[in-house]
Structure formats: C-alpha cells, structure tokens
C-alpha cells in the first residue's frame, strides 16, 4: 500500500484527556457569501486555528462543520468569541457539545 500511495503517512494517536483537552464541541458555520474569495479566506483562516481538529465544507445549510477541542468551557468560549466568530465571511455560528465519542479513529472499511 505504501508503493501505491494508499498510505499517506503515520502518526501517533494521542489521548486528549491525558493532555487536558477534555471539552469537545461541533460548531456549525453559516457564511455570509459563498464566492471563491470568501471561501478561500475562511478555509485558510480556519486551517490556522490549532483547536479545530476537523473542518468540513457541507452541501446545504450550514456551510461548514468544525470539530473543536479545548481544555474546558471557558477556553471554548474564548476560542469561540476571539477566533471562530472573527473568521472571514462568518455570518452565524451555532454549536453543540459532545457528550461522548462512540466511534473514534476507525480504520477505513477495506
């Protein structure tokens, strides 16, 4: 699989709780506009936020889904207010808190 390019790399799986990152949220992002410049600016800016573990562009509403992790609720609120709400092109943010992860780091179904 390495020769075919199917393996894109190797990494260690870290325990977020052991590292003090115990608060996880899903943040739904609705954009003001969907033009190429706005989308590019948003995607570059969100990629630079280390607490955003995943960012996915969606069809329909909302426009993006972000998986975010922080130490606790106050740290999430600060991230939400200071970084996420100020990302380029953001019209509205909505979030839901993760109660627990049921399926995590599952291998691809080969």
CATH number at residue 89: 3.30.70.920
108 assigned to some structural domain: no
103 assigned to some structural domain: no
Number of domains in the chain: 1
Q: Identify whether the C-beta of residue 53 lies closer than 8 Å to the C-beta of residue 69.
A: yes
pLDDT tens digit sequence for 81-107: 999 999 999 999 999 999 999 998 888
HEC secondary structure over the chain: CCCCCCCCCCCCCCCCCCCCCCEEEEEEEEECCCCHHHHHHHHHHHHCCCCEEEEEECCCCCCEEEEEEECCHHHHHHHHHHHHCCCCCEEEEEEEECCCCCCCCCCCCC
DSSP alpha helix (H) spans, 2-70: 36-47
85 assigned to some structural domain: yes
71 assigned to some structural domain: yes
pLDDT tens digit sequence for 44-80: 999 999 999 999 999 999 999 999 999 999 999 999 9
């Amino acid at each position: 699989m390495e020769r075919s390019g199917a393996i894109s790399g190797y990494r260690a799986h870290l325990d977020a709780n052991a590292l003090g990152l115990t608060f996880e949220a899903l943040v739904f992002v609705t954009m003001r506009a969907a033009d190429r410049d706005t989308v590019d600016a948003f995607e570059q800016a969100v990629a630079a936020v280390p607490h955003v573990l995943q960012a996915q562009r969606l069809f329909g509403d909302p426009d993006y889904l972000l998986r975010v992790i922080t130490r606790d609720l106050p740290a999430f609120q600060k991230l939400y207010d200071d970084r996420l709400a100020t990302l380029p092109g953001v019209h509205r943010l909505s979030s839901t808190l993760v109660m627990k992860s049921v399926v995590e780091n599952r291998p691809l179904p080969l």
